[in-house]
Chain A
Amino acid sequence: MTDTAIAHGPPAAVRRRGDGWTATALLTPATIFVAISLFAPLAILFRYSLNEFIPAKKLMVEALTLANYVKFFTDPYYTAILGTTVKIAVLVTLVCLVLGFPLAYVVARTQSRWKHLLIILIVLPLFVGNSVRAAGWMVVFGSKGFVNATLMGIGLIDRPLEIMFTENAVIIGIIAVNLPFMVLSLQSVIEGIDRAVEEAAFSLGAPPATMFRRVLWPLAMPGILAGTILTFILAMNAYATPFLLGGPLFKMMAPLVYNQFTQQTNWPFGGAIAFVLMAVTLALTLAANLILQRRARG
């Protein structure tokens, strides 16, 4: 009996039932955790976003109104902040892709025994928290910081450059935070592409650019998608970097949400902005996904 079971496995019906239970047991904890920690707060927040806010008393009042969403989309101040956020997220994602692809390719293809060290070097920045890194950038970018002191020291400029508290500082900061995510996503996929495929393209007479366009790029598409999605989402929701490097005059969505909740205690409007941010991030991610996949197929 035992021997038979080992040789042929349990009957199909028994196996399926057993598998089902195992699957349920494995899925339940994570499902409950996600349901409680993600969907429940989201549902409450969405309900709040339909409430009213009395500015004079800074109190939320139960209501069922879309006024907060209308306020966001009809006020150019807020739509401009959304515009800036999307612009920066797209720019950062593109730069990360352009900078990250060659790096990921080299790391994936290298035969060096230092490969592990290379990967650790790429991951190393993630060991330091976002805000700590932003603090480091503040030292580098300040009017008497490293960059300005060096440039003035060697006589290239005579007045300090305004880097700190500008859009450029934020863009540089977010790229630095997001680049490792892009490189790691690309590297793992490029590693899985057989080198022989590239060599086949070369031996059939394809120049490097053609090989890249017709062979490497389409095969690396899953990695490109994963990397760009991850980078884009992180950039859309960046908080510490724009807050610390952008300064008081620079605005992005995540600091705006925080500001509404804590400074203004305007939870209904803060909730509405949070949902707008989430919806726009989701919609743009899906759209980019569809376009890229269609391109790859075409």
Chain B
Amino acid sequence: MSNRYTIHRRSLLGGGAALAAGAAFPAMAQDNKRIVIGTWGGDYSRLLAKNIETPLLAPKGWDVVKDEANDPPRRAKVLAERSLRRGTSDIQGVSAANMYEMNEQGTIEQLDYSKIPNSANLIPAMKYPYGVGHIFSGKVVLYNPKLMAAPAGFADTLDPKHGAKLGIIDIQYQYTMLAAGMASGGSVGNFEPGKERLIACKKAGARIYPSNEAFAQALKTEEIACGIMWKARAVQWQNAGINVSTVAPKEGVPMYVSGFVMPKNAPNKAGAYAYLDAMLAPSAQENFAIDMGYNPTVTNAKVAPELRERIGFTEEEQKRLVDLDYGYMAKNDSAFKEWWDKSFKG
């Protein structure tokens, strides 16, 4: 009787073990429900949470963890983890050019589209064997209508006549070289003719900014009057009150696709597929168009006509949309960057 409420040593140990075992199960279950996503910080990351993770993934019990950084360090991390059995991320957001490059490096998984039901409505051009296009926009000319007349295209913008009123973004070196190439008779597969044009612009005083945001700031303070950038960014900056208009260049509108890939050693591939599927849901795509000014990559997303007019391209402009030559860009990227650093900036 007196021992009735005494806890015995054995039963204590047994109970402890049972508790520990019980505690381990929910932890494992939680791990399976965790998706680690590598993405840019700032607006993109915030909008992924707002439009995809909170409304579509959280209700199904998915717990999304973000690894926020610019894409070069994230790509370097995936490359560094290549030999590991389990990597540290399930899905990575990169541009189409970088998706191509990562695939060449052999670090990313070939996708099984049957596991992404929403991909049935994906625009065919956005369906890469190794990645999914999430949003897209085009490289256009940006100018301040208060300070200058509308330029006709890339040649009219990347022109020494603008002197220090032309702004160039350092991290956009590939697309700047592409635009200069197209302006000087080159193509998506030949940037060489543009080099001379860029050097002439730099000699005439063109300003070089480290980031997209620094370029926006310079547009705002009227330090510069024109430059080239994604149309979606121009829409975002218009929303922020910056006096900027866009022109779809007559030489062609190079497409920019931002997408997602899955590292081969992703610890939670089911989670990665769930994410890829959720990001193609019409509601998520529609909200990205509203919040970020990018065009949906699925055909069943409904974008209001006036918004489509601002972010999209007219039928006539759509004919000028050009996809990039990712193979050419990947093969020559090191050489381009070296030229950009040494000859153009140096």
Contacts and interface: CB of A to CB of B under 8 A. Distances in A.
Interface string B198-239: 000000000011100000000001010000000000000000
A249 B208 contact: yes
B75 A248 contact: no
A259 B334 CA distance: 12
Interface stretch (A88-96, A229-237, A261-269): A261-269
Interface in B297-346: 330-335, 337, 341-342, 345-346
A144 interface: yes
B101 interface: yes
Contacts of A77: 341-342, 346
B72 A262 contact: yes
Nearest to B207: A165
A58 B104 CA distance: 9
Interface in B104-140: 104-105
B221 A58 contact: no
A59 B104 CA distance: 9
Given A144-B221, A247-B208, A58 B334 contact: yes
Given A247-B210, A263-B72, A265-B79, A55 B221 contact: no
A40 to B, nearest CB: 15
B76 interface: yes
B73 interface: yes
A58 B330 contact: yes
Given A77-B342, A247-B210, A262 B76 contact: yes
Nearest to A54: B334
Contacts of A8: none
B76 A249 contact: no
Contacts of B332: 56
Q: Of A259, A262, A263, which is in contact with the most chain B CB atoms at under 10 Å from its CB?
A: A263
Q: Of B73, B341, B345, which is in contact with the most chain A CB atoms at under 10 Å from its CB?
A: B341
A71 B331 CA distance: 21
Nearest to A75: B342
Contacts of A247: 208-210
A55 B101 CA distance: 12
Contacts of B76: 261-262, 265
Contacts of A55: 333-335
Contacts, number: 50
B104 A265 contact: no
Interface size class of A (residues with CB under 8 A): 10 to 19
Interface residues of B, number: 26
Nearest to B76: A262
A288 to B, nearest CB: 30
B140 to A, nearest CB: 22
B170 A248 contact: yes
Contacts of A248: 170, 208-210, 345
A58 B336 CA distance: 13
A264 B105 contact: no
Contacts of A259: 341
A143 interface: yes
B72 A266 contact: no
Contacts of B331: 56-57
Interface string A51-78: 0000111110000000000000000010
Nearest to A243: B210
Q: Of B76, B79, B209, which is in contact with the most chain A CB atoms at under 10 Å from its CB?
A: B76
A143 B223 contact: yes
Interface in A218-265: 247-249, 259, 261-265
A266 B337 CA distance: 12
Nearest to A160: B223
B208 A143 contact: no
A265 B333 CA distance: 11
Interface of A: 55-59, 77, 143-144, 247-249, 259, 261-266
Given A57-B105, A248-B345, A262-B70, 19 more contacts: A56-B331, A56-B332, A56-B334, A57-B104, A57-B331, A58-B101, A58-B105, A59-B105, A143-B223, A247-B210, A248-B208, A261-B76, A262-B76, A263-B72, A264-B334, A264-B337, A265-B72, A265-B76, A266-B334
Interface of B: 70, 72-73, 75-76, 79, 101, 104-105, 170, 208-210, 221, 223, 330-335, 337, 341-342, 345-346
* 5 tightest A-B CB contacts, nearest first: A55-B334, A248-B170, A262-B72, A56-B331, A248-B208
15 contacts: A55-B333, A55-B334, A56-B332, A58-B105, A59-B105, A77-B342, A144-B221, A247-B208, A247-B209, A248-B208, A249-B345, A263-B72, A263-B337, A265-B75, A265-B79
